[in-house]
Amino acid sequence: MPFAAPLLLVAALAPADAQTVTADAVAPVSFAAFAMPDQFGTAHAVGGTGPGVTVLLYGDREAAEASRDLGAALHVLFHPTAKDQSAKAAAKAPVRPVPGAAAGAVIPPVHVVAAASAPGVPGPVRSVIAFQLRRAAPHTPVLLDWNADLARQFGLTSGAPNAVVISATGVGYPVDVSDEKAADRIEAAVETLRRRMTTTR
């Protein structure tokens, strides 16, 4: 599920050093897969096994703008030809190769997914939020966390983007996105996991 830029509510290999977080340096979080609906009413599994790596960006309403900007930047980072494209065209952009992967290696996809954390919202307001998101992001699912599932599993910082990188085996790696190095840390974690996949298949 690629990330579309016009969201209302909500997500080159960096060298490993003391300032860079890789999937080897982040405490993994094992969790049972669970489902969340999107603005179209379709349920999506969070966790479980899959063919690639997912970057899940989530936050409350106050984090919407920062989450949108980070998510759009990350989608282009992993899908360079999406730059300056419409949301519909950007969603179809191919993922970039894995640095250092052998010729002919299967390239694991990267999905940048947005989620809006809105626990406690009453039913009628949920319908309004979903309607607004359908208009703002007609081509990209945005997960709606009505039950605070993401906060319980990975924690949540109010008023700021939150991020967890989820491996193909369903293990979560929460990443600090509190400063300007956020994209670098996410990139390093993603590419650590993708390199593992290209060498273990």
Tens of pLDDT, residue by residue over 69-105, are 999 999 999 999 999 998 889 989 999 999 888 888 8
Mean pLDDT of 160-185: 94
Contact 47, 33 (CB under 8 A): yes
Name the band, by pLDDT with cuts 50, 70 and 90, for residue 5. Answer: very low
Question: How many other C-beta atoms are found inside a 10 Å radius of the C-beta of residue 100?
Answer: 11
CA–CA dist 163, 150 (Å, integer): 10
Assess whether pLDDT exceeds 60 at residue 62: yes
Strand order in the sheet with 110-117: 29-30, 171-175, 162-166, 53-59, 110-117, 142-145
- pTM, 2 dp: 0.84
From the options 3.40.30.10, 1.20.1260.10, 3.40.50.700, 3.20.10.10, give the CATH code of 29-94+106-200. Answer: 3.40.30.10
Assess whether pLDDT exceeds 90 at residue 19: no
Tokens 């999937």 map to which residue? 23
Assess whether pLDDT exceeds 50 at residue 4: no
